[in-house]
Structures are given as C-alpha cells and as structure tokens.
Amino acid sequence: MKDSLLLRIALATSITGLVVLVLLLNTLDIKEVDISQARELGEESDVAVSGRITMIRTGEDYTLITLAREEEITVMAFDQVNLSKGQSIRIEGYTQDFKGDQEIIADKIISTE
C-alpha cells in the first residue's frame, strides 16, 4: 500500500472516532435525582441534584456546601467557587460516604438563577 493511502485511512478513522465521541458525550447527560434518592444510592454513583444553598464554608483548597430542597445534603467541591447562601444551583458529581453520611463530591456546579 502507498503511504498516502494509509495516511488517508488513518485520518478518516480518527475523524470518525472523534465525531462518535462528541455524539456520545452529548447524549450521556446525568439524570437529576431528588436529594433523598441521592442519599440511597451506593458509593460513587453519578448524580445530579438541584437546590438552594443553606450554608457555604470555604477553606484553602475546598468549598463545603449544604444544599437543600425538601431535604439537605452536603456537597464537597475541591476548588474555590463564587457562590452565596440562598443561591439556586445544580450539582453534578458522585456520591461518597463520609463518617456514615452520604455526601456529593462535585464535578460541576451550575447556577440556575
């Protein structure tokens, strides 16, 4: 085979793979659950929850948020975020057990206001 033919095949395969990945990422949205449902899920389950911030505390390299809707859940973000008490947000992340209580480790925080 000629090098130019191999190059075209490799390029076409790469572009096709990238298009498939983009389509998959757009369709794999995390389904939003209630806080009570998030508490019942197992360790490291992907979740999305929405609610209003009732408490926020920041440290040097983390932000601790209490998120409430009908119930409350603790959310840990390992970076500084610009949020305030009373703000409505959506959290995407995964569940984790911390000292016998379920919390969410945030991957993404979106303001819904």
Task: Identify whether the C-beta of residue 106 lies closer than 8 Å to the C-beta of residue 38.
Answer: no
pLDDT value at position 36? 84
Residue ranges covered by each domain of the chain: 1-29, 35-111
CATH fold, domain 35-111, is OB fold (Dihydrolipoamide Acetyltransferase, E2P) (2.40.50)
Q: Which amino acid is at 36?
A: S
For the stretch 6-30, pLDDT in tens is 999 999 999 999 999 888 876 666 7
Give the H/E segment covering residue 83.
none
* Cβ-Cβ contacts under 8 Å for 18 (sequence gap 6 or more): none
Which of 107, 97, 3, 4 is CA-nearest to residue 46? 107
What are the start-end ranges of the H helices in the chain?
3-27, 35-40
For the stretch 51-88, pLDDT in tens is 999 999 988 889 999 999 889 999 999 987 889 999 99
Q: Which amino acid is at 23?
A: L
Task: Identify whether the C-beta of residue 56 lies closer than 8 Å to the C-beta of residue 64.
Answer: yes
As a whole number of angstroms, the distance between CA 78 and CA 105 comes to 8
pTM of the model: 0.69
Asked if pLDDT for residue 31 goes beyond 80, the answer is no
